[in-house]
C-alpha cells in the first residue's frame, strides 16, 4: 500500500472519530437543553430523562450519557415503532411525534417520548428522540395499585404532536384535561420539543461544517466500530451458559426471576424463561424495559467503555416468555415496572459471576426507593374531609439504597444503581410541598459485610409540615428479600418503613395513609458485601467505624470469633 | 287577504314547521338508535338528540331520550359555542366532548355537535349524546375518588374538521377504552345522526322557504314559554320544603330542596344538601338541572314540548361543592344514583301545593346490573382473582329498574325506569354478549308500597357466570337499600332493594364486588311507595293483584286490616 491512501485512511478515521465526538456533544447538549427547560423535578433535579440521535432507519448512533438506562435503551427501540407508524418518507420538516405507550416507549405512561426528524438538503438525515418522566398522567397516580393499564392514566399512542411546525391543538387539550398538573406537564412536553430542536440545529451545523450530505456513512462507522469493540470485549469472557434466580417481594406474593445467560460467538443471550407470570398490579414490565435494564446490566460488565448505540447493543439479545412479568402484555398494569425491572442487572450479574467471579459486584438495593407523597387528595376510607382541606401536592423524592460491593471497592452508599438518577435535594422538595424532612442520614450497618462492604442505605424521616394527613404511594422492594452477598460476603440490610408514633409497619407496595401528626420513617436497603468479611483491610474497617458507617457491635462480623475484642479496643 | 287571515295562516305554517322539526329530531334519534354499536343506545335508548339555534337555545328535542341527557345537553351546546364561536365553525365540522361539567354529567356520555349551513351561513346546530360502553379508567362503578380515576376526559374538541376526522383524537380514544370498536362505532353513529338531522332540516327550510330558523325558533320558544306560564297559573304561589335521605356510598346523604313558585317561574334551591363525597356519586350541576327541571315539568306543563322556552321558567340553584353541584375534580361516574332522586325531592315539595297531582316516591334511580368479567379486583382474595381472570373479558350493563311511585288515581308502574325513561335490555341480548346465564327475572311480589294506589313492583333477577369455574364482578351503584321509597298521603313505603349471593352473603349496594365461581347473584330491586290510605283501595283491585300474584294473601291482609281499623275508628265509642 502506498503512503498516500494510507494517510488518507488515517485522516478519514480521525475525521470520523471527530464527528463521533461532536455527535456525542450534540446529544449531550440536547439532554442539557431538556434539563434546563423541563418543568418537572424528575427531569430538572433527578435527571430522569434520555436523549439521543438516530439514523433514518431507526438505529441509534449516539446517546447522552446523562439519562437513565430504562429510558435510553428502551427509547432505542421506540424510534423503530415511530418509523413503522410514520415511515421516514412521510415525515416532513417541522413534524414532531409523541407517545407514552408503555410497550412502544419506555415502559409506563409517565414517560413521554418525543421524536423529531431532521432535514438537511431537503432530505431526512436523522431523528432526535428524548424522554421525560412527567409529574402526573392522570389515572390512579403513582404507585403500583392499578390492576390494568386503564387504571393508570392517559395513554397516548404514537401521534403527530406537531405537523410541519403547527401544534396539534387537540392533543394538548386532551393532555391538559387528563392530568392533575397541566402546566407542568405541558411545560415538559414543550421542553422535549425544544431539546430535539436544539439537537437538530447542532446536527445541521455539524453536517455543514464537515460537508456531509447525510449521516449514513458516519452512522455505519459508529455502529460498526461499536459492534467490533463489543466483540473484542466479549473475548475476555469464557463461552458457556450460566443460570441465576432471584426472589423478589412482588406486590403481595413473592415473585421468581430466572435468567439463563449464554455467551457464544454471536454475543450474549439472556433468556428469562421460568420467571413468574404477570400480576394484576402495576409492577409488570413491558419487554422494552426488560431489554433496557438487561442490556445495561451486561454492558456494565462487558464493554462498559463502548458508547451506547445500536452497534454496542446489537450484541445482546434478550428473550422472555410472553405473559411473564418481564414481558407483560397489554392491558397489564405497569406504573411501577421499575420495582422489578431495576433488579435485572443483579439477576444477570449472578449468572455472569459464575463466568468471571473477579469482575462482578454483589447485589444492591437496585430498585429505587422513591418516596412518593400525595396531599390534599382523597384516599379510600378517608379521612377525606381532612384530606380535602389539606394543601394539594404530589411529590417524588427520588431515594436510593446502597449498591452492592464491587470487586476491589466498597459499594456506593445511597446511590441509584442501575437507574442512575439523582436524589432530589430536600430543600427543593420542601419548597414544593408542605413537607418537613427531620432526618436524612446514612443507615449505619446496612451495608453487607465483606472484603468489600456493601453501600449503605439511608434513613429518612418526613412529616407533613401543616400537620395534615397525607398519602404514601410506595413501590419498594427488598423488604422481604435482602440483597444477597457474594463470594462469602453478607447480605445487605432489608428496607423498611414505619410510622414513628404508632409504630405501624408499612407495606412495601401500595397507597397507605400517613395520619395527621405522624412521621414517616424510611430505611432504605443496603447493598450486599463481596468476599469474606474477615479478609477486609483492617484500616478500612477502622475508617468505617470512625465514620460511623459500621457500629462496634457490627464490626464483630469482620473478625475471627476469637479476635473480635481487638478491633473494638 | 285580511291582516288577521294572513296572521292565522302564518301561525298554521309555523305550527306545521314546528311539527316537522319535531319529526326531524325524532328521525335524528332513530338514526342514532339504528346505527349505534353499544347496547345502552341500541337497546335501552340511553341517548338524546336535538336541534339548537345558532345562539345555543334548544328548539326541539326527540321524545326518545333520557332527561339526564336531553336537559343537560340543552346547556351543553352553549359551552361548545363558547369554546368554538359560531364564526369559527365551518361546514363539515363536528365537535365532541365528554366533559361531565359541560356535557351530560359523566365521562361515559359523549356529546357531538354539528353546525348546519345554508347559503354559507350557520343556521342551526344538531346535538346528540350516547352512553358508550367503556371509557377506560376504573370502569363503570362509583369507586373512583376523583375524576382522574374514571377514564378518558375529552374536553370540547373539533372531532371532524371540514369533513376530515382528526386522527389523533380517534387514536387516543382507541388507546384508552377497553372496547374501541364499539366506542368508535358509537361516535360515528353520533356523526351520522346529526348529519341525517341536518339534511332533513335543510329540506324543511327549502320547502318552507326559510333562510334561517330564527323566526321559527323565536316562535317555538315564545309559545312554549307562554304555555309554561299558563300551566303555572294552575299552581298556587308559595314556598315549600322537602328533604330526602339517600343511602350514599358509605354514609347517608341528605338532599334538601326549597321550591318557590312565583309569578315569573319556579325556583328550586338545594341549599342544605350534603357536600360532595370522595366517591363517584357526585352530580355536576348540568345533571342536577336536567333532572330537577324534568321533575318539575312532569307536574307543570307536562304536555309542553321540551325546549329553551319551556325550560327557562325553571331555575335551579345549588351551592358550589354540594353533592348536587360537585366541582372538578370530583368523581361522577354514578351521578345518576343521586341525580335521579331529584324528581322525588321536588315532588315532595310540590305535593304540599297540590296533593292531588303528585305521585309517591319510586325506586327512581336505575338498578343497572353492570357485570364485568376477565378483570381482577384489588380487594379480592387470590383465589377469587384467579377465577375472575379465568373467564373471557366482558363488560355489560343490564339496564334494570324498580317500581315507580303510586300515581294519583293509578298504581305505580312496575319495573319501569322513571325518571330516566330508558328501557330494560332484554336478557337474550345480554346472554349473546357475555357468558352470562339469567336464571330468573320476574316481578317481586309485595314490593309495591301499600296504598289507595299501590306502588309499582320491583323485580327479582338471578344471574351467574355461564362457566362455573369463573367468577365475575358486579359494579354496584344502587340506592333505596337503606332508605326505601316513601309512601305519601297515608300510603306505605315501597320495599327496599336487596343484593345478595345465592350462598347467603349480603353485598354492599355500592362498589365493585366479586360473585365467586359457582355462586349466583340475586338482585331484588326496590318497589315504589304507595299513595293514599290502604283502607281506601278498592276491593276489586286488591283481588286483581292477588290473582296476578303481585300481592300475597298475607300482604292483602294489610289492606283488610287497615280497612277494619278504619271502620273501627269510625264506630262511635260506647259510653
pLDDT tens figures, B72-129 = 788 899 999 999 999 999 999 999 999 999 999 999 999 999 999 999 999 999 999 9
Please give the average per-residue pLDDT across B453-464, as a whole number.
97
A284 Cα to chain B: minimum distance (Å) = 15
Q: Band the pLDDT of B41: cuts 50, 70, 90.
A: confident
Nearest CA in chain A to B250: A381
B559 or A111: which carries more pLDDT confidence?
Answer: A111
Question: In this predicted model, what pLDDT tens digit does every residue of B382-422 receive, in sequence order?
Answer: 899 889 988 898 888 888 999 999 999 999 999 999 999 88
* Angstrom distance (rounded) from CA B280 to CA B139: 11
Across the interface, whether the CB atoms of B149 and A139 are under 8 A apart is answered: yes
Nearest CA in chain B to A511: B378
Nearest to B168 among A140, A160, A388 (CB): A160
A180 CB near a chain B CB, below 8 Å?
yes
Nearest CA in chain A to B145: A378
Across the interface, whether the CB atoms of A139 and B137 are under 8 A apart is answered: yes
* Angstrom distance (rounded) from CA A379 to CA A513: 8
* Angstrom distance (rounded) from CA A477 to CA A368: 8
Nearest to B152 among A154, A171, A377 (CB): A154
Q: A121, A102, A120, A122: which is closest to A112 by C-alpha?
A: A102
A101 CB near a chain B CB, below 8 Å?
yes
Nearest CA in chain A to B143: A380
B354 pLDDT higher than 60: yes
A565 pLDDT higher than 50: no
Across the interface, whether the CB atoms of A156 and B175 are under 8 A apart is answered: yes
Nearest to B146 among A101, A151, A378 (CB): A378
Cα-Cα-Cα-Cα dihedral sign, residues B442, B445, B448, B452: positive
Across the interface, whether the CB atoms of A174 and B169 are under 8 A apart is answered: yes
B251 CB near a chain A CB, below 8 Å?
no
All residues at 6 or more sequence positions from A102 whose CB lies less than 8 Å from its CB, including other chains? A108, A109, A111, A149, A286, A288, A289, A334, A337
Asked if B175 and B3 count as a contact pair (C-beta separation under 8 A), the reply is no
Across the interface, whether the CB atoms of B148 and A155 are under 8 A apart is answered: no
A157 Cα to chain B: minimum distance (Å) = 6
Q: Is B120 left (phi over 0), alpha (psi -120 to 50) or beta?
A: left
Show residues of chain B in contact with A177, CB under 8 Å: 99, 153-155
Q: Where are the alpha helices (DSSP H) in B362-518?
A: 382-390, 427-433
Other Cβ atoms less than 10 A from the Cβ of B55: the count is: 13
A139 CB near a chain B CB, below 8 Å?
yes
Nearest to B136 among A150, A159, A177 (CB): A150
Percent of chain A at pLDDT > 90 equals 84
Instruction: Provide φ and ψ at B196, rounded to 5°.
Output: -60, -45
Show residues of chain A in contact with B376, CB under 8 Å: 147-148, 280
Show residues of chain A in contact with B389, CB under 8 Å: 280
Across the interface, whether the CB atoms of A174 and B174 are under 8 A apart is answered: no
Across the interface, whether the CB atoms of B175 and A379 are under 8 A apart is answered: no
Q: Band the pLDDT of B452: cuts 50, 70, 90.
A: very high
pLDDT score at A569:
35
* Angstrom distance (rounded) from CA A51 to CA A68: 10
Q: In degrees to the nearest 10, what's the CA dihedral of B334, A148, A335, B279?
A: 20
B466 pLDDT higher than 60: yes
Average pLDDT, chain A: 93
pLDDT score at B47:
86
C-alpha cell at A229: 469493540
Q: What angle do CA B136, B138, B143 make, to 5 degrees?
A: 145
Across the interface, whether the CB atoms of A151 and B178 are under 8 A apart is answered: no
Question: In this predicted model, what pLDDT tens digit does every residue of A145-200 receive, in sequence order?
Answer: 999 999 999 999 999 999 999 999 999 999 999 999 999 999 999 999 999 999 99
Strand partners, B463: B438, B521
Beta strands at A316-319 and A267-271: parallel, antiparallel or unpaired: parallel
Show residues of chain B in contact with A140, CB under 8 Å: 148-149
Question: In this predicted model, what pLDDT tens digit does every residue of B320-348 receive, in sequence order?
Answer: 999 999 999 999 999 999 999 999 999 99
* Angstrom distance (rounded) from CA A256 to CA A251: 12
Please give the average per-residue pLDDT across B237-241, as a whole number.
98
C-alpha cell at B94: 363536528
Please give the average per-residue pLDDT across B222-238, as a whole number.
95
Asked if A418 and A342 count as a contact pair (C-beta separation under 8 A), the reply is yes
pLDDT score at B571:
65
Percent of chain A at pLDDT > 70 equals 98
Across the interface, whether the CB atoms of B176 and A154 are under 8 A apart is answered: yes
Percent of chain B at pLDDT > 90 equals 82
B382 CB near a chain A CB, below 8 Å?
yes
Please give the average per-residue pLDDT across A453-466, as a whole number.
97
C-alpha cell at B537: 283501595
How many CA atoms lie within 13 Å of B92's alpha carbon, on the beta-carbon side? 6
A166 CB near a chain B CB, below 8 Å?
no
* Angstrom distance (rounded) from CA B42 to CA B425: 9
Across the interface, whether the CB atoms of B155 and A168 are under 8 A apart is answered: no
Please give the average per-residue pLDDT across A442-455, as a whole number.
97
Q: A540, A405, A108, A407: which is closest to A283 by C-alpha?
A: A108
pLDDT score at A71:
73
Question: In this predicted model, what pLDDT tens digit does every residue of A283-297 receive, in sequence order?
Answer: 999 999 999 999 999
Interface A:B, Cβ pairs < 8 A? 94
pLDDT score at B575:
42
ipTM of the complex in this document: 0.91
C-alpha cell at A386: 381532612
B567 pLDDT higher than 90: no
A335 Cα to chain B: minimum distance (Å) = 14
Instruction: Provide φ and ψ at B205, rounded to 5°.
Output: -65, -35
pLDDT score at B334:
95
Please give the average per-residue pLDDT across A43-49, as a whole number.
78
Collapsed DSSP state (helix, strand, coil) of residue B144: coil
Residue of B93, B101, B149, B184 to mutate for A, most A C-beta atoms under 10 A = B149
pLDDT score at A564:
44
Highest mean pLDDT among A65-69, A562-566, B199-203: B199-203
Question: In this predicted model, what pLDDT tens digit does every residue of A222-277 receive, in sequence order?
Answer: 999 999 999 999 999 999 999 999 999 999 899 999 999 999 988 999 999 999 99
Instruction: Provide φ and ψ at B200, rounded to 5°.
Output: -65, -40
> Environment class of residue B382 by beta-carbon count within 10 Å: exposed (0-12), middle (13-18) or buried (19+)?
exposed
Across the interface, whether the CB atoms of B176 and A101 are under 8 A apart is answered: no
B203 Cα to chain A: minimum distance (Å) = 33
Q: Band the pLDDT of B573: cuts 50, 70, 90.
A: low
A529 Cα to chain B: minimum distance (Å) = 36
pLDDT score at A380:
85
Across the interface, whether the CB atoms of B172 and A180 are under 8 A apart is answered: no
Question: In this predicted model, what pLDDT tens digit does every residue of A339-395 receive, in sequence order?
Answer: 999 999 999 999 999 999 999 999 999 999 999 999 999 998 879 889 989 999 988
Nearest CA in chain B to A178: B153
Show residues of chain A in contact with B329, CB under 8 Å: 180
Show residues of chain A in contact with B157, CB under 8 Å: 170, 173-174
Residue listed under C-alpha cell 304507595: B530
A138 pLDDT higher than 90: yes
Please give the average per-residue pLDDT across B16-36, as a whole number.
95
Beta strands at B121-131 and B109-118: parallel, antiparallel or unpaired: antiparallel
Residue of A155, A335, A384 to mutate for B, most B C-beta atoms under 10 A = A155
Asked if B481 and B496 count as a contact pair (C-beta separation under 8 A), the reply is yes
A141 CB near a chain B CB, below 8 Å?
yes
pLDDT score at B572:
56
Asked if B339 and B294 count as a contact pair (C-beta separation under 8 A), the reply is no
Please give the average per-residue pLDDT across B433-450, as a whole number.
96
B1 pLDDT higher than 60: no
Across the interface, whether the CB atoms of B153 and A253 are under 8 A apart is answered: no
Across the interface, whether the CB atoms of A180 and B329 are under 8 A apart is answered: yes
A388 CB near a chain B CB, below 8 Å?
yes
Asked if B310 and B303 count as a contact pair (C-beta separation under 8 A), the reply is no
Across the interface, whether the CB atoms of A384 and B174 are under 8 A apart is answered: no
C-alpha cell at B384: 377469587
Across the interface, whether the CB atoms of A174 and B154 are under 8 A apart is answered: yes
Amino acid at each position: 500500500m502506498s503512503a498516500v491512501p494510507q494517510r488518507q485512511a488515517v485522516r478519514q478515521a480521525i475525521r470520523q472519530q471527530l464527528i463521533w465526538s461532536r455527535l456525542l456533544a450534540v446529544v449531550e447538549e440536547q439532554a442539557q437543553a431538556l434539563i434546563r427547560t423541563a418543568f418537572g423535578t424528575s427531569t430538572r433535579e433527578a435527571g430522569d430523562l434520555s436523549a439521543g440521535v438516530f439514523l433514518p432507519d431507526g438505529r441509534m448512533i449516539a446517546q447522552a450519557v446523562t439519562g437513565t438506562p430504562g429510558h435510553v435503551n428502551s427509547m432505542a427501540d421506540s424510534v423503530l415503532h415511530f418509523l413503522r407508524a410514520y415511515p421516514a418518507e412521510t415525515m416532513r420538516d417541522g413534524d414532531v411525534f409523541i407517545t407514552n405507550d408503555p410497550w412502544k416507549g419506555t415502559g409506563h405512561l409517565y414517560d413521554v417520548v418525543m421524536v423529531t426528524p431532521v432535514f438537511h438538503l431537503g432530505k431526512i438525515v436523522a431523528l432526535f428522540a428524548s424522554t421525560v418522566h412527567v409529574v402526573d398522567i392522570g389515572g390512579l397516580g403513582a404507585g403500583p395499585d392499578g390492576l390494568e393499564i386503564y387504571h393508570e392514566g392517559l395513554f397516548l399512542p404514537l401521534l403527530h404532536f406537531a405537523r410541519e411546525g403547527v401544534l396539534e391543538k387537540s392533543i394538548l387539550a386532551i393532555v391538559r384535561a387528563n392530568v392533575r398538573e397541566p402546566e407542568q406537564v405541558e411545560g415538559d412536553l414543550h421542553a422535549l420539543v425544544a431539546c430535539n430542536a436544539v439537537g437538530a440545529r447542532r446536527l445541521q451545523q455539524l453536517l455543514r461544517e464537515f460537508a456531509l450530505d447525510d449521516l449514513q456513512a458516519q452512522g455505519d462507522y459508529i455502529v460498526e466500530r461499536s459492534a467490533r469493540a463489543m466483540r473484542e470485549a466479549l473475548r475476555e469472557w469464557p463461552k458457556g451458559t450460566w443460570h441465576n434466580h432471584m426472589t423478589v417481594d412482588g406486590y403481595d406474593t413473592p415473585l421468581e426471576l430466572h435468567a439463563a445467560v449464554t455467551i457464544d460467538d454471536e454475543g450474549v443471550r439472556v433468556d428469562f424463561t421460568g420467571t413468574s407470570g404477570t400480576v394484576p398490579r402495576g409492577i409488570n414490565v413491558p419487554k422494552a424495559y426488560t431489554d433496557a435494564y438487561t442490556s445495561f446490566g451486561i454492558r456494565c460488565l462487558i464493554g462498559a467503555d463502548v458508547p451506547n448505540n445500536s452497534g454496542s447493543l446489537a450484541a445482546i439479545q434478550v428473550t422472555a416468555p410472553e405473559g411473564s412479568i418481564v414481558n407483560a402484555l397489554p392491558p397489564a398494569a405497569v406504573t411501577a415496572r421499575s420495582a422489578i425491572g431495576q433488579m435485572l442487572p443483579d439477576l444477570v450479574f449472578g449468572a455472569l459471576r459464575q463466568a468471571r467471579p473477579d469482575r462482578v459486584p454483589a447485589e444492591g438495593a437496585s430498585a429505587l426507593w422513591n418516596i412518593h407523597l400525595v396531599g390534599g387528595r382523597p384516599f379510600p376510607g378517608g379521612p377525606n374531609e381532612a384530606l380535602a382541606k389539606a394543601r394539594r401536592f404530589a411529590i417524588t423524592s427520588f431515594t436510593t439504597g446502597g449498591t452492592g460491593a464491587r470487586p476491589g471497592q466498597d459499594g456506593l452508599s445511597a446511590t441509584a444503581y442501575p437507574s442512575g438518577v439523582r436524589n432530589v435535594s430536600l430543600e427543593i422538595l420542601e419548597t414544593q410541598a408542605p413537607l418537613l424532612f427531620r432526618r436524612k442520614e446514612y443507615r449505619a450497618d446496612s451495608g453487607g459485610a465483606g472484603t468489600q462492604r456493601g453501600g449503605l442505605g439511608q434513613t429518612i424521616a418526613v412529616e407533613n409540615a401543616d400537620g395534615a394527613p397525607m398519602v404514601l404511594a410506595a413501590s419498594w422492594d427488598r423488604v422481604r428479600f435482602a440483597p444477597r452477598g457474594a463470594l462469602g460476603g453478607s447480605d445487605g440490610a432489608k428496607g423498611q418503613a414505619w410510622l414513628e408514633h404508632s409504630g405501624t409497619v408499612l407495606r412495601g407496595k401500595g397507597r397507605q395513609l400517613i395520619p395527621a401528626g405522624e412521621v414517616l420513617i424510611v430505611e432504605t436497603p443496603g447493598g450486599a458485601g463481596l468476599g469474606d468479611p474477615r479478609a477486609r483491610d483492617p484500616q478500612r474497617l477502622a475508617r468505617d467505624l470512625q465514620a460511623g458507617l459500621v457500629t462496634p457491635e457490627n464490626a464483630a462480623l469482620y473478625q475471627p470469633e476469637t479476635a473480635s475484642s481487638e478491633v473494638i479496643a | 287577504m285580511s291582516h288577521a287571515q294572513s296572521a292565522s295562516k302564518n301561525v298554521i305554517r309555523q305550527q306545521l314547521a314546528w311539527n316537522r322539526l319535531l319529526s326531524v329530531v325524532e328521525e335524528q334519534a332513530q338514526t342514532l338508535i339504528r346505527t349505534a354499536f353499544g347496547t345502552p343506545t341500541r337497546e335501552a335508548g340511553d341517548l338524546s338528540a336535538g336541534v339548537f339555534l345558532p345562539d345555543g337555545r334548544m328548539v326541539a328535542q326527540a321524545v326518545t331520550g333520557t332527561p339526564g341527557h336531553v336537559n343537560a345537553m340543552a346547556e351543553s351546546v352553549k359551552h361548545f359555542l363558547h369554546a368554538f364561536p359560531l364564526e369559527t365553525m365551518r361546514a363539515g365540522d363536528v365537535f365532541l366532548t365528554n366533559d361531565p361539567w359541560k356535557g351530560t354529567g359523566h365521562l361515559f356520555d359523549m356529546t357531538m355537535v354539528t353546525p348546519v349551513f345554508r347559503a354559507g351561513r350557520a343556521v342551526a346546530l344538531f346535538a346528540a349524546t350516547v352512553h358508550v360502553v367503556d371509557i377506560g379508567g376504573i370502569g363503570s362503578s362509583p369507586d373512583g375518588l376523583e375524576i382522574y380515576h374514571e377514564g378518558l376526559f375529552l374536553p370540547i374538541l373539533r372531532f371532524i374538521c371540514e369533513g376530515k376526522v382528526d386522527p389523533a383524537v380517534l387514536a387516543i380514544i382507541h388507546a384508552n377504552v377497553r372496547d374501541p370498536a364499539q366506542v368508535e362505532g358509537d361516535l360515528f353513529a353520533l356523526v351520522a345522526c346529526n348529519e341525517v338531522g341536518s339534511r332533513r332540516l335543510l329540506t324543511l327550510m327549502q320547502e318552507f322557504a326559510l333562510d334561517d330558523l330564527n323566526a321559527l325558533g323565536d316562535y317555538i320558544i315564545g309559545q312554549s314559554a307562554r304555555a309554561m306560564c299558563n300551566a303555572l297559573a294552575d299552581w298556587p304561589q308559595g314556598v315549600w320544603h322537602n328533604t330526602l335521605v339517600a343511602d350514599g356510598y358509605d354514609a347517608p346523604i341528605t338532599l334538601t330542596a326549597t321550591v318557590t313558585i312565583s309569578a315569573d317561574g319556579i325556583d328550586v334551591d338545594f341549599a342544605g344538601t350534603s357536600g360532595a363525597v370522595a366517591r363517584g356519586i357526585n352530580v355536576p350541576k348540568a345533571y342536577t338541572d336536567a333532572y330537577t327541571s324534568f321533575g318539575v315539568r312532569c307536574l307543570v306543563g307536562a304536555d309542553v314540548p321540551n325546549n329553551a322556552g319551556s325550560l327557562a321558567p325553571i331555575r335551579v340553584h345549588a351551592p358550589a361543592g354540594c353533592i348536587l353541584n360537585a366541582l372538578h375534580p370530583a368523581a361522577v361516574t354514578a351521578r345518576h344514583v343521586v341525580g335521579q332522586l331529584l324528581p322525588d325531592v321536588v315532588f315532595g315539595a310540590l305535593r304540599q301545593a297540590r296533593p292531588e297531582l303528585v305521585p309517591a316516591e319510586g325506586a327512581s334511580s336505575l338498578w343497572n346490573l353492570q357485570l364485568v368479567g376477565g378483570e381482577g379486583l384489588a380487594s379480592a382474595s387470590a383465589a377469587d382473582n384467579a377465577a375472575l381472570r379465568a373467564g373471557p373479558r366482558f363488560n355489560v350493563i343490564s339496564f334494570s329498574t324498580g317500581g315507580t311511585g303510586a300515581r294519583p288515581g293509578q298504581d305505580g308502574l312496575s319495573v319501569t325506569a322513571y325518571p330516566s325513561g330508558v328501557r330494560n335490555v332484554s336478557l337474550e341480548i345480554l346472554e349473546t354478549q357475555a357468558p352470562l346465564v339469567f336464571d330468573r327475572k320476574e316481578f317481586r311480589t309485595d314490593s309495591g308500597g301499600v296504598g289507595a294506589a299501590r306502588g309499582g313492583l320491583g323485580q327479582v333477577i338471578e344471574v351467574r357466570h355461564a362457566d362455573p369455574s369463573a367468577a365475575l364482578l358486579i359494579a354496584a351503584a344502587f340506592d333505596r337499600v337503606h332508605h326505601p321509597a316513601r309512601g305519601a298521603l297515608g300510603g306505605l313505603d315501597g320495599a327496599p332493594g336487596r343484593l345478595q349471593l345465592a350462598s347467603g352473603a349480603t353485598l354492599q349496594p355500592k362498589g365493585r364486588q366479586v360473585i365467586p365461581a359457582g355462586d349466583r347473584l340475586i338482585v331484588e330491586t326496590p318497589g315504589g311507595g304507595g299513595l293514599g290510605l290502604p283502607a281506601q283501595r278498592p276491593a276489586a283491585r286488591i283481588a286483581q293483584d292477588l290473582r296476578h300474584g303481585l300481592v300475597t294473601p298475607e300482604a292483602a291482609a294489610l289492606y283488610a286490616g287497615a280497612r277494619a281499623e278504619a271502620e273501627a275508628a269510625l264506630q262511635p265509642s260506647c259510653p
